[in-house]
Amino acid sequence: MPRLLPRRLPLLPPRSNSFAPAEPALGLVLLLDAVTRNLFNLIWALVLANWGRKLCGNNKPMVLVAMYPAGIITGMIAAAVTGSTALSGVFIFAGLVVYLFGIFSIREAVEDYYNSIENIGLTLSGPMTFFFSTIYLQYHVNRLAR
């Protein structure tokens, strides 16, 4: 009876502990954001939220950022059904507020990860995060990837 040898698995390259993704250049993000009239910003916020979800280990950034497109869609449906632009505005504004909480949860996840696990002393500005959200975060993602 032939002796069965264990099957050898191919060696995989060592994984880096860094979660910095290879993201597109900041100029490309700005260009796509301008061409699509901020639609790309919503999509890219979801990509960054997914990255933040991987860093912190929970779905909080993803859920909060996804509330903005959900608020816009709900506001449009509410305006079509009820004819009330005030109700529509409330849904859209609520989605925007929750979106900002999501952006700040991404910021918190990035700072926690890169100050505790990677320990590079990363500090992100609150006002810059508020005013430039995904563009500011993308700048730091590109910096971390380098």
**CA dihedral (41, 127, 100, 119) positive or negative:** positive
Higher pLDDT, 69 or 18: 69
pLDDT digits over 90-99, tens only? 999 999 999 9
pTM attached to this predicted model: 0.77
- Mean pLDDT, range 15-27, rounded to an integer: 59
- CA-to-CA distance for 79 and 73, rounded, in angstroms? 10
Residue 31 banded pLDDT, cuts 50, 70, 90: confident
Residue 112 burial by Cβ neighbours in a 10 Å radius (0-12, 13-18, 19+): middle
CA atoms within 13 A on the CB side of 17: 6
